[in-house]
Amino acid sequence: MGIDRRAASLIAAAALATAPVAPASASVRNPSWHPPIPVSSGAVPPSGSVSSGALPAGVPVAVDARVSVVGGVTRLVVDLGARAAVQAALTEAPDRLVLDLPEVNFQVDPAAGRLGPGGVGVIRGFRFGLFAPGRSRIVVDLGGPAALRRADVASIAGGDASRLTVELVPTDRAAFHAAARRPAQDEAATVTVTAAPAPTADPRPVVVIDPGHGGVDPGASGVSGAVEKDVVLRFATVLAAKLSAGDRYRVVMTRRDDSFVSLSDRVRVARDSDAALFISVHADTLSDGSVSGATVYTASDGASDAEAARVAATENQSDAAAGLDEAPKASADVSDILFDLTRRETRSYAHRFQRTLAGYWAKIARLNHNPERSAGFKVLQAPDVPSVLLELGYLSSGQDVRSLESPDWRAKAADGVSASVDAFFAGREAPAPVPPGAAAMR
């Protein structure tokens, strides 16, 4: 199969020196990191449900959110069922206001944050959701530099309810730059990561299922109010159950509820789990409602076409959508010849699975007219884990949305993906369940 384990130990030296994967107890910028979530047969939530987990007692409920402009002041108001502390910070490149709160149960239509072309006042739009365990976030997109005049939560007279009020006014770039910070900059010194449990002697290959987006990052939206983070979690949950049922694989999910996980942490789950295959599940949207069908993407240095470049650019914005700064790029030394050999072989396996998955999908569901594409997806960058990104369909297509919302369709499509996983591993050289050098590079 190419590279032996002796060579892999040399690869490891280059990888560990350059790859942006945090060691145990290393400080990182992302507080959403949690260990991989194993899935055992019977432990997966029922099909069609999207659980945010048990809410702690006393969690405030957000029931309404609205934006208005009065006298040149843009005001965002969120009605809460109880008092909650708020921390506010302006961020630059892009211009945003990040509001951090204790965990909030948002019972607000996500459409409230889509303000249309031009937005309202200095606010172009906003989104909200769980950002980390016990912590929620509202990310406000600004149309330009703005000064924060007010951000506080006050009780409403005559009851337990409260109101979060944010006021913004236009300002110049120099003043905004002085007030802004890089997203999550202040968290680097306090947030730590602990290593995932050491791999067991279980010989079954590990398959990581990655439902895209989540929490404060809703992903795409489409007809009938479909939201990507919910659609893909429902499908991923069914798929995980199918793969776990036969006891052929150890199945790990990057998230099992409506929580945010950064792109780098999704890659880290795959590597820390010694994954033999990584499947990231997404759904697309376009202005053209006639485009439909699934597409399977792999990683590449350059995009296979303009559409692949567009999709990768959109999906790569997940961290920014949650108010996180961009992860550091790997050093140029990562192009070391041995490291590059492993990466190329890994991508070869990814292309093999891409073809297999597209073939099985065509038997049971619709494929896009160009179903096999590639681009520089950040979530597919593990150099030692064959990785694909499956776009289930288009939320802008009524036909696709009807399929995605059908439990029968999800079960049938998950059967097809499960069969493609079986075929992929059946066709690989025994006994190695992962690409050569993968274990040494962890």
> Mean pLDDT of residues grouped by 10 in the chain (442 residues)?
36 34 32 52 38 57 94 95 90 92 92 92 95 91 95 82 94 93 42 41 91 94 91 98 93 94 94 95 94 96 94 92 68 56 87 97 95 96 94 96 97 97 81 41 44
What is the Cα–Cα distance from 7 to 270, expressed in whole angstroms?
Answer: 22
Cα angle 47, 52, 54 (rounded to 5 degrees) comes to 110
Kindly report whether the peptide bond that precedes residue 431 is cis, defined as omega within 30 degrees of 0.
yes
pLDDT reported for residue 37? 61
What is the Cα–Cα distance from 67 to 89, expressed in whole angstroms?
Answer: 18
What is the Cα–Cα distance from 352 to 292, expressed in whole angstroms?
Answer: 24
Are residues 303 and 417 in contact, defined by beta-carbon separation less than 8 angstroms? no
CB within 8 Å of 117: residues ≥ 6 apart: none
Token pair in block for residue 407: 């439990």
The gap between the terminal CA atoms of the chain, to the nearest Å, is 19
- Give the architecture-level CATH label for domain 61-181: Sandwich (2.60)
Angstrom CA distances, 258 to 128, 213, 371, 436, 440, stand at: 11, 9, 28, 35, 33
pLDDT reported for residue 81? 86
What is the Cα–Cα distance from 244 to 319, expressed in whole angstroms?
Answer: 30
Other CB atoms closer than 10 Å to residue 43's CB: what's the count?
13
- CATH 2.60.40.3500 spans which residues of the chain? 61-181
Concatenated DSSP letters of 153-166: EEEPTTSS-EEEEE
Other CB atoms closer than 10 Å to residue 82's CB: what's the count?
15
pLDDT reported for residue 322? 86
- CATH 3.40.630.40 spans which residues of the chain? 5-52+190-441
Among the CATH numbers 2.60.40.420, 3.30.210.10, 3.40.630.40, 3.40.50.1970, which is that of 5-52+190-441? 3.40.630.40
Are residues 322 and 215 in contact, defined by beta-carbon separation less than 8 angstroms? yes
How many residues would you count in the chain? Answer: 442
pLDDT reported for residue 326? 62
pLDDT reported for residue 396? 96
